[in-house]
Structure 1
Amino acid sequence: MSPWLHRIDPIALQFPEFSLFGMTLHPAVHWYGVMYLLGFGLAWWLGRRRVLQGRLPGVDAQAFGDLVFYGMLGVILGGRLGYILFYDLSAYLADPLQVFEIWNGGMSFHGGLVGVCIAAWWWARKHRLHFMDVADFVAPLVPPGLGFGRLGNFINGELWGKYTGGDWGVIFPHAEAPLLRLAPEQLQALHASGALDRYARHPSPLYQALLEGLVMFVALWWFSSRPRPRYAVAGLFALLYGSFRFLVEFVRVPDAQLGYLAFGWLTMGQLLSLPLVALGLFWLWKSRSAPTLQPVPAPDTAN
């Protein structure tokens, strides 16, 4: 077994360049954006199924569509602002136009979570629903988007892990200064000879796609397949995500502009995940004495 050389083109579809107001534009569809669309689309499809089953009483498919739209805005705005505030504020202050370059990555889950919570709270208030009932409903719909997002990170060749110290893993040319100026043919030849094996790294985005995407989705979808007490589903979501993210950070290289925050191993991702673990445990404890929302046929069911 030998390391795999990362050579994925982050652009899914390239359009002809054109000029506009004296600027030369290179329009393209990036895989990173496609992953987000897949995540939102699957969340809408899964959520609509449960709405029609009456899992969110008093809410029809149209109202749920509004929730998805607000959630999309919360993810994008919250995720971008969260990344800027938590990870790289000085760079964006120096070049504010970078804020719009979402296709290059730079999204924070924790910021996106805050954005979604604000959107869900506003929507719940508008429809006179308990916020935690909405949070419990939304929680199982989120992991597929997390998984697709991490696949987008992997396609971009970013958020790489530490060296494996073995003859397996993934070689990320953009992570290695000596490889940055090499032509693709040179990289391929060196890879075939085994000269790049020492650059093999943990594909941490794939670890996160598996844990935060697939494993969390299976666990939460099964757990929420029957009515649970208020706080329980959202609590399990927070506990699982916080735990998985904390663990994967041990093999992931911290952001260069931040490094380790303390103890020679604590990263910003771990620091932001600890409150989620605590919140998840608190909500699970609180669910023991909370009421259980029972399904009521949705208005669309008869159509």
Structure 2
Amino acid sequence: MLSYPEIDPVAVSLGPFQVHWYGLMYVVGFVAAWWLGCKRAERIGLTRDDIGDYLFYAAIGVVAGGRVGYALFYGLEQFAADPLWIFRVWDGGMSFHGGLLGVILATWLFARKKILAFFTMADFVAPLAPIGLGAGRIGNFINHELPGRVTSLPWGMPFPGMGPEPRHPSALYEALLEGAVLFVLLWWISAKPQKRGFVSGVFLLGYGAFRFIVEFVRLPDAHIGYIAFGWVTMGMLLTLPMMLFGVLLIAWSQKQPVDVKTTDKR
């Protein structure tokens, strides 16, 4: 059994001003996405300035979509009781699925602005996202969020405020799978131009599969519990359509052209 590391969720505190590790993880994700995006920007006819502009769109989509998605899927009662809570992002409570929808909308708007096919831009963006996803899960871990179920495995650890039983560090599992493994997979696949929509499909299927697997050892939100059969969680329910759409998108992509510097609006 391991000990849960004692890390203060507040990274920097200057009087009333506090910088949380959770917020810094978003910075890590966007900086990594900018750097990686700049390395491949010319592939689809973008500049370094364009990457910065896109990340502005994406940042709004991630924060707004993630927060609204969490309120709708997981925290509707909390939002109804305290509407201003939705603006306190530093308190935690972000939905990946809501953030994904926000980024999809941001990507569509940016692609229209640059006269790019939507999936041209989406395929470009997909490999840039996992590092931010992994960093966000590390932020969850530092925030004592996403506790796992009780385990006898040697790397189990007591979760703060949940008694002495060792639990799966499910947030770290997600950081590894949704972050590191998914990044390596997508970056490798996208090293060479692929058919339009293929990389996006692999992202949806890969993230969905990894998330679905980890949900088996991650505790469901206490105020929601299991949705059905004593093991189906809200995360599983939201992830199934992702995997299905990922498979359909991969199949659809096989009839699409290889996407290099395309400028059509299809």
Counterpart of 1:55, as a letter, is: R
1:56 Cα shift?
1.2
2:96 matches 1:109: yes
Equivalent of 1:69, from 56, 61, 76?
A: 56
1:152 Cα shift?
0.1
1:99 Cα shift?
1.1
Describe the superposition over 1:32-52 as per-residue Cα deviations: whole angstroms up to 9, x where unpaired: 00111000000011001101x
1:155 Cα shift?
0.5
Instruction: Give the equivalent residue in structure 1 for 2:130.
Output: 143
1:217 Cα shift?
0.2
Higher RCO (CA < 8 A, seq sep 6+): 1
Cα–Cα, structure 1 residues 28 and 285, in superposed 2: closer, same or farther, change >3 Å? same
Greater than 6 Å deviation, 4+ residue runs = none
Cα–Cα, structure 1 residues 115 and 41, in superposed 2: closer, same or farther, change >3 Å? same
Secondary structure class of the residue paired with 1:236: helix
Instruction: Give the equivalent residue in structure 2 for 1:215.
Output: 181
Question: 1:1-303 alignment to 2 at 5 Å?
Answer: 2-16=1-15, 26-51=16-41, 54-57=42-45, 59-166=46-153, 168-176=155-163, 196=164, 199-295=165-261
Describe the superposition over 1:15-41 as per-residue Cα deviations: whole angstroms up to 9, x where unpaired: 12xxxxxxxxx2201000011100000
Secondary structure class of the residue paired with 1:4: coil
The whole-number CA distance in structure 1 between the counterparts of 2:136 and 2:181 is 15
| Unmatched 5+ stretches in structure 1 | 17-25, 177-195, 297-303
| Unmatched 5+ stretches in structure 2 | none
Describe the superposition over 1:73-119 as per-residue Cα deviations: whole angstroms up to 9, x where unpaired: 10000000000000010111101121122112100000000000001
Counterpart of 1:41, as a letter, is: V
Counterpart of 2:65, as a letter, is: G
1:167 Cα shift?
5.1
Secondary structure class of the residue paired with 2:94: coil
- TM-score, structure 1 length as denominator? 0.84
Counterpart of 2:137, as a letter, is: R
Give yes or no for contact 1:6–1:170 (8 Å, CA) kept in 2.
no
Instruction: Give the equivalent residue in structure 2 for 1:184.
Output: none
- Count of aligned pairs: 262
Describe the superposition over 1:125-168 as per-residue Cα deviations: whole angstroms up to 9, x where unpaired: 11111101100000000000000000000011111100003554
- TM-score, structure 2 length as denominator? 0.96
More deviation in 102-111 or 158-167?
158-167
